[in-house]
Structure 1
Amino acid sequence: MSRVIPAARIVDATAVDEELPTRRLNVLRFGYAFMGVGLAIVKWPLIQNAHSLPVMEGVVACLLTAMSLLAFLGLRYPVRMLPILLFEVTWKVIWIAAVAIPHLVSDDLNAATREMLFNCSFVVVIVAVIPWRYTWRRYVQTPGDAWR
């Protein structure tokens, strides 16, 4: 049984992909550079001694180092690597909503949580560079790939 999609909802993926002007792509590249350089400065030095970190800190250091490498790939392919920026925004917004805001409301924000909140607040730069209209059309309105 095939699913019928109303003609008004069908968005040609190729048309969506070719839509961003060079200026907009360069704004996206700035976001990738901001994320990649920031993570490289903070996380790459930890990789040398990752074996001596507590397990979860080592996992986070490795994961964020991988994210920085993928962000650098976004300099070359800004549209194709857009999910990396979306992941960055998503995990930080979830952390702020689930961890930081409850501590702020109950007025028991400790130094470590305050520092993490400060670091996560830089997500506003990534939020600002994402082409949200394009993202909506590409990932919500465009039909997904066939399951079979």
Structure 2
Amino acid sequence: MMNEVSLTRLYMLRAMYLLVVVGLSLTLWPDVLSAKKAFSAWEFFRGVETSMMAAFWLLCLVGIRYPLQLLPILLWELLWKTVWLIAVPLPLWMNGTLDEKLLPNVFAIGAVILVYAVIPWSYVYRHYIKKQGDQWRTAK
């Protein structure tokens, strides 16, 4: 259906993808493109993280054109950030040991609230929960 999601919501999704693209362009790509910071010089997990974020950047770039088709990538962002906020800073905050050095990360990752706001939740429900899944085997 063409009008399943309002044009306003589609623009909000596009703005979210654009925000990610611009943000990662400023924070991620300078490290990737820097001559003094080659992938081989990074620790293993830093290289994995950077590669995953570069792929995420590319998918968000495509999401500007196809906001609904790339919705799972925003759901992935929403889920990993929510898990991190619940698993890492929340317990530290609850027992009074949240380190101030962690706060910039908490605020940056806490911006996931914007993703919650732009997701067309009724579309997600209809297409990822209520809709019958793809078949698992050939019909007899």
TM-score (norm 1): 0.83
CA contact (8 A) 1:39 1:68 kept: yes
2:74 is aligned with 1:74: no
1:144/1:18 Cα in 2 relative to 1: closer, same or farther (>3 Å)? farther
For 1:12, the equivalent position in structure 2 comes to none
Looking at structure 2, the residues matched to 79 and 126 of structure 1 have their Cα atoms a distance apart, in angstroms, of 13
CA drift of 1:126 comes to 1.2
The worse-fitting range, judged by mean Cα deviation, of 115-124 and 78-87 is 115-124
Q: In structure 1, give the amino acid aligned to 2:27.
A: V
Q: For this pair of structures, how many residues does the alignment match?
A: 133
Q: In structure 2, give the amino acid aligned to 1:101.
A: L
For 2:18, the equivalent position in structure 1 comes to 33
1:126 counterpart (112, 115, 133): 115
TM-score (norm 2): 0.88
**What residue ranges of structure 1 are gaps of 5+ in the alignment?**
1-14
CA contact (8 A) 1:36 1:71 kept: yes
CA drift of 1:29 comes to 0.4
Looking at structure 2, the residues matched to 143 and 36 of structure 1 have their Cα atoms a distance apart, in angstroms, of 33
For 2:76, the equivalent position in structure 1 comes to 87
Show structure 1 runs of 4+ deviating over 6 A. Answer: none
Q: In structure 1, give the amino acid aligned to 2:20.
A: M
- Provide Cα deviations, 1:5-52, integer angstroms capped at 9, x if missing partner: xxxxxxxxxx4x651122221111011111121122111112132322
- Provide Cα deviations, 1:40-93, integer angstroms capped at 9, x if missing partner: 211111213232222111211111111011101000110000000000000000
The worse-fitting range, judged by mean Cα deviation, of 46-55 and 58-67 is 46-55
For 1:42, the equivalent position in structure 2 comes to 27
CA contact (8 A) 1:40 1:65 kept: no
Looking at structure 2, the residues matched to 41 and 113 of structure 1 have their Cα atoms a distance apart, in angstroms, of 21
Looking at structure 2, the residues matched to 28 and 70 of structure 1 have their Cα atoms a distance apart, in angstroms, of 13
1:34/1:95 Cα in 2 relative to 1: closer, same or farther (>3 Å)? same
Looking at structure 2, the residues matched to 107 and 63 of structure 1 have their Cα atoms a distance apart, in angstroms, of 32
Instruction: Give the match's secondary structure for 2:28.
Output: helix
Aligned CA RMSD, in angstroms, stands at 1.4
